[in-house]
């Protein structure tokens, strides 16, 4: 069978995903815990003219929301039909190291025509996501980022749900891709897209019953943009942050003080839909230059069911080990420019051709089998405090695989102690985080601005 016929055949299964009157729940319907994922070229019309050269899991739609359940086994067979190497990473999931999808560190890259079967049992419920970790820059920039929802043991009592995958694309007016990164951007805050999307659509509208309770899961899967978000004066509560339940009352973001959600980060809101049909809740992004953009809208439909946020039960806690701060050992990490420059090894997983960034003054040697060692070795079961210091004027969402951590303090602001896998470091910020090294393996540790990651701001921690 020719490559093209093959693509056409595999497209049949996703027909009908674009009906306008479907609710968000229908659109992102639950799938069984076994998934066959086929990485393939895709075409999609963001505006009037279709954009070719996307990479997704179907020929004409964004990567789907994958669902699993806490404590239940999942099997994800990832088949690569593209000529480039790849590897799939399950961001935020605390799973065995061999299933983490990091080339050379945990597995060999997946070549054209090859399949890698990922099998794991998610220990935590919440909002997570997936993306490649080999050819990361080009495959993510061309579309390959999707949301993964791990359901709680018990239904937390929402009427419905909307899942929002926020990301930019860099397109010309005729729909063709602009260069997906620039050296200038990589050496500074990253190269931003110019078409901002939610689930690959610009300002989609999702209908929910008037007066119902909606779980709104917002995921920033962009390669660069730090989203500044708020929901106007809607009746909402922040119920989870980076996957894990929030057990305190957090101040709600506003237009003047929006919430910073860096690449890789997630926030779950409980939303009480307005009581009159047609009223809306707008997920709004504040952009540079005082611009504002509605990323997605929830719209009330039908007669009110008059439910109230007060009726929601709190989400059950995930089984996270509490760090012992009395015995915790301190390790320091400095994130900044690299004095030497140089070119990372590009192996099979791609290089942007520059080293601009470093951790502890050493740029990552590149995603290849050689020239790397752990930044630190942690003893299994012990508690650690990691001091993360940003020595640059740019912001860095620093992400650690395989473990969850909690911020303790910052030199610039008061941070709520929320479990996370990604700490957003502001200009000149120093944040101390604490964790228990309870998952053995080599865990990637890098900035989630992918241009920074791929030009040096990467490494790994070893848990023995």
CB closer to ligand C2O, 91 vs 452 = 91
Nearest distance from C-beta of residue 101 to ligand C2O, angstroms: 8
Work out what residue 167 binds among Cu ion, ligand C2O, none; the CB cut-off runs from 5 to 8 Å by kind. Answer: none
CB closer to ligand C2O, 24 vs 148 = 148
Nearest distance from C-beta of residue 237 to ligand C2O, angstroms: 26
Work out what residue 447 binds among ligand C2O, Cu ion, none; the CB cut-off runs from 5 to 8 Å by kind. Answer: Cu ion
Q: Does 91 bind Cu ion (CB under 5 A)?
A: yes
Work out what residue 133 binds among Cu ion, ligand C2O, none; the CB cut-off runs from 5 to 8 Å by kind. Answer: ligand C2O
- Using a 10 angstrom Cβ sphere, with 0-12 exposed, 13-18 middle and 19 or more buried, the burial of residue 278 is exposed
Out of 401, 446, 454, 462, name the contact with Cu ion by CB under 5 A: 401
CB closer to Cu ion, 281 vs 426 = 426
Nearest distance from C-beta of residue 225 to Cu ion, angstroms: 12
Pairing of strands 34-44, 51-56: antiparallel
What are phi and psi for residue 313, nearest 5 degrees?
-80, 150
Work out what residue 307 binds among Cu ion, ligand C2O, none; the CB cut-off runs from 5 to 8 Å by kind. Answer: none
Question: What is the Cα–Cα distance from 350 to 345, expressed in whole angstroms?
Answer: 8
CB closer to ligand C2O, 120 vs 206 = 120
Nearest distance from C-beta of residue 368 to ligand C2O, angstroms: 16
CB closer to Cu ion, 229 vs 449 = 449
87 contacts 107 by C-beta, under 8 angstroms: yes
Work out what residue 449 binds among Cu ion, ligand C2O, none; the CB cut-off runs from 5 to 8 Å by kind. Answer: Cu ion
CA angle 426, 382, 250 (to 5 degrees): 40
From the list 263, 268, 197, 280, the residue with the least C-alpha distance to 237 is 268
| 336, 360, 387, 426 from 393: Cα distances, Å | 9, 16, 18, 8
Question: What is the Cα–Cα distance from 366 to 389, expressed in whole angstroms?
Answer: 22
Q: Which residue is nearest to ligand C2O (CB)?
A: 91
DSSP code per residue over 201-222:
BSS-EEEEETT-EEEEEEEE--
Nearest distance from C-beta of residue 378 to ligand C2O, angstroms: 18
Nearest distance from C-beta of residue 403 to ligand C2O, angstroms: 12
Residue 450 three-state SS: helix
HSE (side-chain half, CA atoms, 13 Å) at 393: 2
| 149, 153, 189, 292 from 271: Cα distances, Å | 18, 21, 33, 21
Work out what residue 186 binds among Cu ion, ligand C2O, none; the CB cut-off runs from 5 to 8 Å by kind. Answer: none
| 12, 20, 22, 41, 407 from 16: Cα distances, Å | 9, 10, 10, 19, 44
CB closer to Cu ion, 307 vs 452 = 452
- Using a 10 angstrom Cβ sphere, with 0-12 exposed, 13-18 middle and 19 or more buried, the burial of residue 373 is exposed
Residues 6+ apart with CB under 8 A from 297: 203, 204, 205, 206, 280, 281, 282, 283
CB closer to ligand C2O, 208 vs 401 = 401
From the list 167, 195, 204, the residue with the least C-alpha distance to 47 is 195
Q: How many CB atoms lie within 10 A of CB 47?
A: 12
338 contacts 363 by C-beta, under 8 angstroms: yes
Nearest distance from C-beta of residue 78 to ligand C2O, angstroms: 15
Contact letters for Cu ion, residues 442-461 (x by CB under 5 A): -----x-x--x---------
Q: Does 208 bind Cu ion (CB under 5 A)?
A: no
Nearest distance from C-beta of residue 190 to Cu ion, angstroms: 7
| Residues lying near ligand C2O in the complex (CB under 6 A) | 89, 91, 131, 133, 264, 399, 401, 444, 446, 448
Q: Does 67 bind Cu ion (CB under 5 A)?
A: no
CB closer to Cu ion, 44 vs 120 = 120
CB closer to ligand C2O, 204 vs 459 = 459
Nearest distance from C-beta of residue 333 to Cu ion, angstroms: 13
Q: Does 396 bind Cu ion (CB under 5 A)?
A: yes
Nearest distance from C-beta of residue 145 to Cu ion, angstroms: 12
| Interface residues toward Cu ion, by CB under 5 A | 91, 396, 401, 447, 449, 452
């Amino acid at each position: 069978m020719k490559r093209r016929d093959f693509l056409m055949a595999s497209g049949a299964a996703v027909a009908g995903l674009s009906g306008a009157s479907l609710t968000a729940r229908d659109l992102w319907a639950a799938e069984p815990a076994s998934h066959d994922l086929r990485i393939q070229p895709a075409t999609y019309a963001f505006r009037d003219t279709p954009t070719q050269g996307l990479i997704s899991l179907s020929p004409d739609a964004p990567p789907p929301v994958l669902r699993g359940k806490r404590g239940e086994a999942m099997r994800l067979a990832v088949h690569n039909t593209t000529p480039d190497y790849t590897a799939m990473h399950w961001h935020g999931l605390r799973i065995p190291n061999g299933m983490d999808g990091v080339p050379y560190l945990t597995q060999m890259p997946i070549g054209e025509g090859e399949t890698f079967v990922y099998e794991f049992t998610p220990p935590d419920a919440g909002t997570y996501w997936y993306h490649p970790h080999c050819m990361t820059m080009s495959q993510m920039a061309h579309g390959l980022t999707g949301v993964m929802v791990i359901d709680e043991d018990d239904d937390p009592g929402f009427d419905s749900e909307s899942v929002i995958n926020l990301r930019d694309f860099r397109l010309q007016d005729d729909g063709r891709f602009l260069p997906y990164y620039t050296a200038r951007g990589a050496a500074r805050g990253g190269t931003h897209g110019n078409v901002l999307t939610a689930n690959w659509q610009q300002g989609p509208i999702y209908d929910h019953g008037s007066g119902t309770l909606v779980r709104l899961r917002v995921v920033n899967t962009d390669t660069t943009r730090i989203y500044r978000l708020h929901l106007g004066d809607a009746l909402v509560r922040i119920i989870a942050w980076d996957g894990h339940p929030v057990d305190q009352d957090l101040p709600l973001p506003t237009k003047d003080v929006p919430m910073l959600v860096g690449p890789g980060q997630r926030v779950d809101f409980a939303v009480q839909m307005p009581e009159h049909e047609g009223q809306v809740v707008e997920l709004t992004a504040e952009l540079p230059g005082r611009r504002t953009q509605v990323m997605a809208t929830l719209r009330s439909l039908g007669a009110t069911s008059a439910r109230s946020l007060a009726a929601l039960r709190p989400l059950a806690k995930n089984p996270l080990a509490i760090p012992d701060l009395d015995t915790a050992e301190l390790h320091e990490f400095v994130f900044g420019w690299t004095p030497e420059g140089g070119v990372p090894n590009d192996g099979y997983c791609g290089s942007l051709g520059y080293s601009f960034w470093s951790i502890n003054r050493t740029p990552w040697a590149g995603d290849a089998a050689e020239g790397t060692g752990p930044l630190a070795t942690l003893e299994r079961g012990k508690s650690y405090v990691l001091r993360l210091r940003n020595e640059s004027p740019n912001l860095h969402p620093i992400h650690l695989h395989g473990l969850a951590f909690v911020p303790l303090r910052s030199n610039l602001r008061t941070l709520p102690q929320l479990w996370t896998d990604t700490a957003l470091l502001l200009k000149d910020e120093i944040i101390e985080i604490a964790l228990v090294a309870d998952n053995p393996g080599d865990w990637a540790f890098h900035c989630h601005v992918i241009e920074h990651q791929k030009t040096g701001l990467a490494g790994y921690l070893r848990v023995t």
